[in-house]
Amino acid sequence: MAGEGQVDLTFEGEDAARSIASAVQNSSLVELRSALRSELIRVRNLTAFITKRDEFPVATGGFADVFKAEMEGDEDENGWVVLPETVGIKVLRIDKCPDPVRAKRRWDRELEVWHRLHHPNVVELLGIYHKEGRSGMVTHWHKNGNAREYLEKQPFVNRVQLIMDVASGLAYLHQFHPVIVHGDLKADNVLIDNHGRALLTDFGLSQFIGDMAERTIPATSKFAGARRWLSPEIAVELIDDSYISPPLPVRTCASDVWAFGCTAYELMTSMVPYRHRDRDWHVLFDIANGVKPGRRQEPSMPGSTDQLWELMDLCWVHQPERRPSMNILVPRISRLSLPGWIQVHHVRRGTLPTQALETQVL
């Protein structure tokens, strides 16, 4: 067991060396590969190299706090080089779960999978931070914020390229082994790096939070994730909330595709899905009854607007088995003949209904 200031995921030098040395001594190539792979995918504990800028979070939500911090450059005890940079630390409130020990074990497994991901459109997990009994995920600090914030400040960037970035990242997650379902895709969960590239973050987090929530409360109360991006099959299950402790709806690749269509709509128009609705309950009924997240006549854009709408309509097919996979969507998006930037007309500053959103920072 790990003690205070340590977690089970840290790279333990002596154990690693002993495992690898044993494989070499026994001349077992299979064991050697297994030992090397086991150690390489372990998440690094960066606590000793990190200093928080402030004890107060720069962002907070229902399930996590985000801190800005500085990471010092050095070499750890195992010879790994740590580069100096500004980082972000996202600390989950696992201690608030009914079974925090079980939640911690489950989240450690989630982090091991995340640490194995390497794609230009997926946020990189640098390591973990553990202090005062709370663990956090360490990532690069992205000063441009999320895609919604970025487009408010830079409305004339190439929006189609951002949509392509999101599609590529999501296709990568769906092709990974084991398959990774994002579960809460929206513009707020897409970060923009210093080069204007879109990166997916918070994948799998909503399902984890829902699974760890108290099992004796209604599904709509413990269901983590924004309602406006939900697919019909999930909305239908959430509407029937008249009984206690129902099974939570399971997110799938097909529900991710629906949410991708909603996110593409956001990125293209700077408007949220179902913007005519203020209440989540009304949104759920619209989704379940086949109302599309947006209407084709809303955005006025130069270029091949119809092509984008056709792709979004494919994502919004009511039956999940009839929606295209991301592998099919990515090449179609890449072929769009759109200008270098897209201007969205008739969207006045300050008119976006963001106050109606469930903007949890996860």
Domain with 60 in it: what CATH number? Answer: 3.30.200.20
* Confidence category of residue 351, pLDDT binned at 50, 70, 90: very low
End-to-end C-alpha distance for the chain, whole angstroms: 28
Q: Does one domain contain both 238 and 279? A: yes
Q: How far, CA to CA in Å, does 31 sit from each of 14, 16, 39, 278?
A: 17, 12, 12, 58
Assign residue 255 a region: left if phi > 0, alpha if psi is -120 to 50, beta otherwise?
alpha
Last residue of a domain, one of 119, 140, 161: 140
Q: Does one domain contain both 171 and 294? A: yes
Q: Does one domain contain both 166 and 135? A: no
Is 0.95 surpassed by the pTM of this model?
no
* Confidence category of residue 10, pLDDT binned at 50, 70, 90: very low
Domain-embedded: residue 98: yes
Of residues 285 and 353, the one with the higher pLDDT is 285
At 341 the pLDDT is 40
Q: Does one domain contain both 308 and 216? A: yes
Last residue of a domain, one of 140, 171, 192: 140
Q: Does one domain contain both 102 and 153? A: no
Find the mean pLDDT for residues 71-96. Answer: 78
Last residue of a domain, one of 91, 118, 140: 140
Domain-embedded: residue 288: yes
Domain-embedded: residue 351: no
At 233 the pLDDT is 94
* Confidence category of residue 286, pLDDT binned at 50, 70, 90: very high
At 203 the pLDDT is 83
Of residues 284 and 213, the one with the higher pLDDT is 284
List, in sequence order, the alpha helices (H) in the chain: 13-25, 29-40, 100-115, 147-153, 159-175, 205-212, 219-222, 232-239, 253-269, 280-288, 305-315, 326-334
Q: Does one domain contain both 133 and 171? A: no
Mean pLDDT score across all residues of the chain? 77
Question: What domain count does the chain have?
Answer: 2
Domain-embedded: residue 247: yes
Q: Does one domain contain both 232 and 152? A: yes
Q: Does one domain contain both 109 and 175? A: no
CATH number, residue 308: 1.10.510.10
Rounded distance, CA 100 to CA 106, Å?
A: 10
Q: Does one domain contain both 174 and 217? A: yes
Rounded distance, CA 123 to CA 117, Å?
A: 9
What range defines the domain where residue 73 resides?
A: 47-140
Check pLDDT > 60 for residue 339: no
Contact 107, 207 (CB under 8 A): no
Burial class of residue 307 (count of CB atoms within 10 Å of its CB; 0-12, 13-18, 19+): middle
